[in-house]
């Protein structure tokens, strides 16, 4: 069983190191969506594929007071009868409940935009998902640092 | 009855973007906080907000405990015709409140 396999020398130490480095990058990109977010989104998306882009979740990256954090979700859409945003949902990673808001829009709106104030329990990721009238789903993931947490006092 | 604040411009030109901003005074008790006796306070939140323009549903939202106290919701309507905007909030403990505003399109 110890006979050398032809071509085995292909796995030199250098090639293994390079492969390991490439693997590490593919597993954890800069904005990898946390598992909790993926699970929370599944109820909304029904397991359909989502893509990054078209949605912008506007929030301060450094939150001083997690009790009322202003957020604005904007989707790039003309909001006509044929091409509009049907729903916008926001999910969080580390609050006791992952849902934040699910808004249903209509072509009577001038812009696909929603502003509200939310609670954040701790430093975490947030995701905004938009469902367009053609059925496609677009996301934007952001990371926020929270210094004073909500839900504790 | 909870106090509400609704900001809608009274008049707008046809085709303009009408900024609608609403706020309702409500504690949005999450159901996770402890009260002064140490026991968890029961959940008391507003679960649903909706806005109708001339009886047509134009915007609605499902709210969860992660929405801050005194829920503020803002969106942008397109001025197409004059009419009445009706806002309603529904929540735990049978909360149901409706307010209205008029928009005149010139």
Taking CA atoms, what residue in B is nearest to A66? B68
Selected for mutation to probe chain B from A63, A64, A68, A110 (highest B CB count within 10 Å) is A110
Give residues with Cβ within 8 angstroms of A131, minimum separation 6.
Answer: A44, A45, A85, A86, A87, A88, A89, A137
Q: What is the pLDDT of residues A43-89, one digit of tens each?
A: 899 888 888 989 999 999 999 888 999 999 999 999 998 999 999 99
The pLDDT assigned to A12 comes to: 64
pLDDT reported for residue A143: 93
Q: In chain A, whose CA is at the least distance from the CA of B29?
A: A151
d(CA A41, CA A28): 19
> How confident is the model over A101-119, as pLDDT tens digits?
999 999 999 999 999 999 9
Strands B46-53 and A85-92 come out as unpaired
Domain ranges within chain B, ordered by starting residue: 4-30+43-105
Nearest to A116 among B67, B69, B79 (CB): B67
The chain-wide mean pLDDT, for chain A, equals 83
DSSP calls for B5-42: EEE--SEE-TT-EEEEEEEE----B-S-SB-TTSSBPP
Residue B43 has pLDDT above 50, yes or no: yes
Instruction: Assign domain B4-30+43-105 to its CATH architecture.
Output: Sandwich (2.60)
What's the pLDDT score for residue A15?
Answer: 60
Of B25, B31, B27, B30, whose CA–CA distance to B6 is shortest? B25
Whole-number pLDDT of residue A13: 63
Q: How far, in Å, CA of A120 to CA of A93, rounded?
A: 9
The answer, yes or no, to whether residue A27 has pLDDT greater than 70, is: no
Report pLDDT for B63. Answer: 94
- Chain B touched by A79 (CB under 8 Å): yes
Nearest CB among B30, B64, B77 relative to A108 is that of: B77
User: CA distances (Å), B27 to each of A108, A118, A150, B41, B69, in order?
Assistant: 31, 13, 13, 12, 5
DSSP-based helix, strand, coil % in chain B, nearest 5: 0, 60, 40
Shortest Cα distance, chain A CAs vs residue B95, angstroms: 19
pLDDT of B6 strictly over 70: yes
CB hemisphere CA count around A8 (13 angstroms): 5
Question: What fold is seen in the domain A35-148?
Answer: Immunoglobulin-like (2.60.40)
Domain edges within chain A: 35-148
Output the pLDDT for position A86.
Answer: 93
Could you tell me which residues of chain B have a Cβ less than 8 Å from any Cβ in chain A? 16-18, 21, 30, 32-33, 53, 56-69, 71-80
pLDDT of residue A148: 82
pLDDT at A25: 47
Indicate whether A9 pLDDT > 60: no
Q: What is the pLDDT of residues B81-101, one digit of tens each?
A: 999 999 999 999 999 999 999
A125 touches chain B (CB under 8 A): no
Q: Does the pLDDT at position A38 exceed 50?
A: yes
Q: Does the distance separating the beta carbons of B58 and A106 come in below 8 Å?
A: yes
């Amino acid at each position: 069983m110890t006979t050398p396999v032809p071509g085995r020398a292909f796995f030199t130490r250098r090639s293994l190191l390079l492969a390991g480095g490439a693997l590490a990058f593919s597993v954890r990109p800069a904005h990898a969506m946390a598992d909790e977010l993926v699970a929370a989104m599944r109820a909304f998306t029904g397991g359909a594929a989502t893509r990054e882009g078209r949605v912008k979740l506007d929030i301060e990256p450094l939150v001083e007071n997690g009790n009322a954090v202003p957020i604005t979700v904007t989707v790039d859409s003309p909001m006509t009868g044929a091409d509009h945003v049907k729903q916008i949902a926001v999910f969080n990673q580390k609050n006791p409940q992952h849902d934040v808001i699910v808004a249903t829009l209509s072509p009577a709106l001038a812009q696909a935009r929603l502003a509200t104030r939310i609670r954040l329990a701790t430093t975490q990721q947030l995701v905004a998902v938009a469902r367009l009238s053609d059925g496609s789903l677009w996301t934007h993931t952001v990371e926020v640092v929270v210094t004073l947490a909500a839900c504790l006092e | 009855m909870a106090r509400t604040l609704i900001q809608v411009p009274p008049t707008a030109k046809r085709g303009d973007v009408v900024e609608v901003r609403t706020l309702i005074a409500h504690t949005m008790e999450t159901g996770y906080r402890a009260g002064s006796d140490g026991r968890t306070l029961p959940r008391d939140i507003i679960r649903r907000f909706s806005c109708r323009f001339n009886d047509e549903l134009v915007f609605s939202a499902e709210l969860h405990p992660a929405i801050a106290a005194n829920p503020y919701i803002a969106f942008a309507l397109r001025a197409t015709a004059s009419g009445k905007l009706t806002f309603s909030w529904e929540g735990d403990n049978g909360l149901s409140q409706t307010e209205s505003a008029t928009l005149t399109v010139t």
